[in-house]
């Protein structure tokens, strides 16, 4: 588990798991990665909760969410660019597949969804820059972008590139692996949904 704190990012557990690997990959240059080597899950949860409380008071959790969201959008943009170019090179039935309506619709939807992701991120970033309340917007952006980019990448892989989307010679298979982790790091989508409901004061009874 990775939680952003004032001078770095706290990683609970051994520091050798997938969460720690993702944090190290996404962290800004110069960010301290602090490993709290607890093997007891209750202890890990307690330390993470303390770090999260400290970070939330400084608005740093929002920053970690924005980094994860931006990374997801970048992966989806790369996937769309690859599928877009591939559709103009690959021929089937004597014509390039970009001439087929199904492929065109898939790519048009991907571009539309990608633009929606950009607008969600821009709105959240603007609120942060204006020092306005941004917790709801960043959580909404994390949920929407995480799930939308996953759909974008998988559709580009399966409906445009087909079997070639699984081949290591193409970047698409890496994009799929990268985007599938987005709903997990930077605060899972389930946690973000809890944040949205709580911050918008949805009653529990």
The burial class, CB within 10 Å (0-12 / 13-18 / 19+), for 201 is exposed
Indicate whether 76 and 107 sit together in one domain.
yes
Tokens of 80: 């769309």
The answer to the question of residue 109 being in a domain is yes
Tell me if 153 sits within 8 A of 181, measured CB to CB.
no
Which residue reads 């704190």 in tokens? 5
Domain boundary among 41, 56, 71: 56
Out of 8-12, 82-86, 109-113, 179-183, least confident range: 8-12
The answer to the question of residue 172 being in a domain is yes
Indicate whether 52 and 68 sit together in one domain.
no
CATH code for the domain of 95: 1.20.140.10
The answer to the question of residue 12 being in a domain is yes
pTM of the predicted model over 0.95: no
Instruction: Give residues with Cβ within 8 angstroms of 143, minimum separation 6.
Output: 189, 192, 193, 196
Indicate whether 12 and 88 sit together in one domain.
no
CA distance 75 to 114: 11
Indicate whether 194 and 168 sit together in one domain.
yes
Domain that holds residue 25: 2-56
Indicate whether 167 and 76 sit together in one domain.
yes
Q: Can you say how many angstroms the Cα of residue 49 is from the centroid of all Cα atoms in its chain?
A: 22
- Average pLDDT of the residues in 124-147: 91
Indicate whether 72 and 143 sit together in one domain.
yes
pLDDT tens digit string along 2-58?
A: 444 333 444 444 445 545 555 455 455 554 444 444 344 444 444 444 444 444 443
């Amino acid at each position: 588990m990775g939680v952003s704190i004032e001078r770095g990012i706290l990683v609970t557990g051994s520091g050798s798991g997938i969460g720690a690997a993702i944090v190290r990959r996404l962290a800004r240059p110069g960010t301290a990665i602090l490993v709290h080597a607890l093997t007891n899950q209750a202890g890990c949860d307690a330390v993470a909760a303390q770090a999260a409380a400290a970070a939330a008071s400084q608005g740093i959790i929002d920053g970690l969410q924005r980094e994860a969201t931006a990374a997801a959008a970048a992966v989806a943009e790369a996937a769309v660019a690859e599928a877009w170019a591939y559709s103009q090179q690959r021929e089937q039935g004597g014509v390039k597949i970009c001439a087929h309506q199904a492929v065109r619709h898939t790519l048009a939807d991907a571009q539309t969804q990608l633009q929606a992701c950009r607008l969600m991120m821009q709105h959240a970033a603007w609120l942060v820059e204006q020092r306005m309340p941004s917790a709801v917007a960043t959580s909404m952006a994390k949920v929407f972008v995480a799930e939308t980019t996953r759909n974008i990448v998988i559709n580009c892989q399966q409906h445009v590139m087909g079997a070639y989307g699984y081949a290591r010679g193409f970047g698409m298979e890496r994009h799929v692996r990268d985007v599938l982790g987005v709903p997990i790091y930077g605060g899972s989508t389930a946690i973000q949904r809890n944040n949205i409901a709580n911050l918008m004061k949805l009653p529990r009874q």
